[in-house]
């Protein structure tokens, strides 16, 4: 579960990203220069990566740590497998 602080940070970042995406739509509607659009797309991707990093960090600090400390052997193994899958998926980018 996310703490209220993490939830607030993630919401704030996602709202900014939403504004960036709306800006991208306006750029396309206004036939902006392709490179300028691509730079903004890259900025949105970077912002999403920051949200991803925030959420992954909190997940490790709370869910994974709790499972490793007090969970059963199967719970610990499940969290480890879950983390490996997440890292494999994010590492492919």
Domain span at 82: 4-91
User: What is the model's pLDDT at position 37?
Assistant: 98
Give 10-residue mean pLDDT values along the chain (93 residues).
92 98 98 98 97 92 86 87 88 64
Residue 92 pLDDT: 61
This prediction's pTM? 0.82
**What is the reported pLDDT for 55?**
94
| Domain count along the chain | 1
- What is the pLDDT, as a whole number, of residue 93? 58
Give the CATH number, domain containing residue 67. Answer: 1.20.58.1000
What are the distances in angstroms from CA 59 to CA 37, 40, 47? 33, 29, 19
What was the pLDDT predicted at 34? Answer: 97
């Amino acid at each position: 579960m996310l703490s209220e602080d993490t939830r607030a940070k993630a919401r704030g970042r996602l709202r900014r990203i939403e504004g960036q995406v709306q800006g991208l739509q306006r750029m396309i509607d206004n036939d902006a220069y392709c490179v300028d659009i691509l730079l903004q797309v890259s900025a949105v991707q970077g912002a999403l990566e920051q949200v991803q990093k925030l959420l992954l960090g909190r997940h490790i600090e709370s869910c994974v740590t709790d499972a490793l400390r007090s969970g059963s052997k199967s719970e610990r193994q499940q969290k480890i497998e879950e983390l490996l899958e997440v890292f494999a998926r994010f590492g492919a980018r």
